[in-house]
Amino acid sequence: MPQPLLSIEGLSAGTDEKTILHDVDLTIEAGRAHVLMGPNGAGKSTLGHVIMGDPAYEVSAGTIRFDGADITADAPDRRALAGIFLSYQAPVEVPGVPLMSFLRTICDKRPELKMKGRAFRARVEELAEQLDMDKSYLERELNVGFSGGEKKKVEMLQLLLLQPKLAILDETDSGLDVDALSVVSRGIQAYRETCDGALLVITHNTRILERLEVDRTHVLVHGRLVAEGGSELITQIDAEGFERFEEAGCKGVMS
């Protein structure tokens, strides 16, 4: 059996105030599309941030292994360089940093992505066009004054440019109109087709999943993974909601 790309075992984590994740086990293989669903406040975003190494959260038990290495104690930049990408629910604005300069800086830290100036600009402009992004945005300060849909396009641009081994998309569909959601869906599809990367899509809404071929679905409630299965779970949740899973979460058992 091939070694999993991401392997989480017995993970408990949270803040100084409380434990949010309880004894979580999760395995993702290279090239596979996984979906993490659950009601608001279930701990879905926390899990994504813990995988990325967000210092706001502390791991109290368990391990996180990525591409064969134990990264439980690694800083976020090391995880990013190893090939993990996290999109944020609410991307931050960075005044004074032009988007093009930001993209160039992060690519320069990855030897396999380094390009000469003209080739780099051509590549970025090609991706911007693919995402229906006005090229003038590349010279603007990172996310400053951008709409929610424009910020998500910037994240899709980063995703396609960086070609990570694992992309964690945290509520990427949040607040998007139909047109912006279509562009984001195209970006995800392009990522899957061009680099065959693994996906962990975190959401409580099934809209963004309509165009995605899902390999595995996980349900998180009250910080516990209470169910997993194929794409049929998405259809069930869409029709019935999370009530049955919330009962399992309260009991602290796997269904």
Q: What pLDDT score was predicted for residue 177?
A: 77
Using one digit for the tens of pLDDT, what is the confidence trace for 149-182? 888 889 999 999 999 999 999 988 776 778 878 8
Given a contact cutoff of 8 angstroms between Cβ atoms, the answer to whether 52 and 86 are in contact is yes
Q: Which of 52, 61, 62, 15 is nearest to 200 (CA)?
A: 52
Average the pLDDT over each of 16-25, 124-133, 223-232, 246-255 and give the range with the smallest value: 246-255
Q: What pLDDT score was predicted for residue 109?
A: 87
State the residue for tokens 């910080």: 223
Distances, alpha carbon 231 to alpha carbons 188, 212, 218, 239, in Å:
17, 10, 10, 13
Given a contact cutoff of 8 angstroms between Cβ atoms, the answer to whether 200 and 169 are in contact is yes
pLDDT classification of 1: cutoffs 50, 70, 90? low
Using one digit for the tens of pLDDT, what is the confidence trace for 76-115? 999 999 999 999 877 888 999 999 999 999 898 888 888 8
Number of Cβ within 10 Å of residue 122's Cβ equals 12
Q: What pLDDT score was predicted for residue 110?
A: 86
Could you tell me if residue 181 is inside a domain? yes
Give every CB contact of residue 147 below 8 A, 6+ residues apart in sequence: none
Could you tell me if residue 1 is inside a domain? no
**Greater model confidence, 183 or 55:** 55
Q: What pLDDT score was predicted for residue 194?
A: 85
* One-character DSSP codes across 189-216: HHHHHHH--EEEEEES-SGGGTTS--SE
pLDDT classification of 247: cutoffs 50, 70, 90? low
pTM above 0.85, yes or no: yes
Pairing type for strands 19-28 and 33-37 reads: unpaired
Could you tell me if residue 119 is inside a domain? yes
pLDDT at 253 over 60: no
pLDDT classification of 255: cutoffs 50, 70, 90? very low
**Greater model confidence, 121 or 245:** 121
The C-alpha atoms of residue 156 and residue 177 are separated, in whole angstroms, by 16
- If one counts the domains in the chain, the total is 1
- The H or E element spanning position 153 is helix 148-162
The C-alpha atoms of residue 84 and residue 94 are separated, in whole angstroms, by 21
Could you tell me if residue 175 is inside a domain? yes
pLDDT at 226 over 90: yes
Please state, rounded to an integer, the average pLDDT across all residues of the chain.
Answer: 89
Q: What pLDDT score was predicted for residue 251?
A: 55
Could you tell me if residue 199 is inside a domain? yes
List the domain range (segments joined by +) for residue 35.
Answer: 6-251
**CATH number, domain containing residue 81:** 3.40.50.300
